[in-house]
Amino acid sequence: MTKVLIALTCYNDTFYADGTKTGVFVVEALHPFNYYKEQGYDVDFVSETGKYGFDEHSLSADFLSGKDKEQFEDKNSAFNQALAKTKVAADVNPSTYKIFFASAGHGTLFDYPTAKNLQKIASDIYANNGVVAAVCHGPAIFDGLTDKDTGKPLIQGKVITGFTDIGEEILGVADILKQKKLDTVEDIAKKYHAKYMAPIGPWDDFSIADGRLVTGVNPASASSTAKRTVQVLNSLN
């Protein structure tokens, strides 16, 4: 059975101007989980420390409603059962997984760039001819992530997308990011000489693949990003 590893941010602290916390953006973990399970894949969750917490904005009706909300609130759902077994990154054997999917939330900007064990897992999966993906702020994982075969940054010279700087402005967090000296996805793309591709609109469903590297731009793109990883994986066989 094909195994997928979904990474979670372990950062869960006050971030927004209204005093609420950031952390895992629920649907950016839930939608990929559901898609992979529908494909018959085995899915595990992992964070650098094995801990996680949710972005409080992602729990609002604007982002979590209907069946998503029901699944999230059902303690016995497959999603919550998998979350309860979230792995510590240092304990994971990368050779058993074919897809690494970095879920998001602004929390990733705090911990993914220094999450060396998560980055090692992604690097190993990529080196083993697997697929590495990230959605929204998930590309923060690429800050310091190297391609084992070349020794160069994994995204160097590649085309990626991720949450837009315009989106940060619209959300009213651009100044907060500057104050906390956090790089945006566009900053990271520039830093490692990747080509950043923006969607027409910051809230559009938009995902792209450059070889075995797959990225998506926002919560609405979480499912399409996961779907694209499966298409890429199938094309390798």
Q: What angle do CA 88, 54, 69 make, to 5 degrees?
A: 120
Half-sphere exposure of residue 153: CA atoms within 13 angstroms, side-chain side: 21
At 145 the three-state DSSP class reads: coil
Residue 45 in tokens = 């969750």
Could you tell me the CA-to-CA distances from 212 to 15, 98, 228, 229 in Å, in that order? 33, 11, 10, 8
**Secondary structure string (H, E, C) spanning 79-130:** HHHHHCCCEEHHHCCHHHCCEEEECCCCCHHHHHHHCHHHHHHHHHHHHCCC
Residues tagged active-site: 136-137, 168
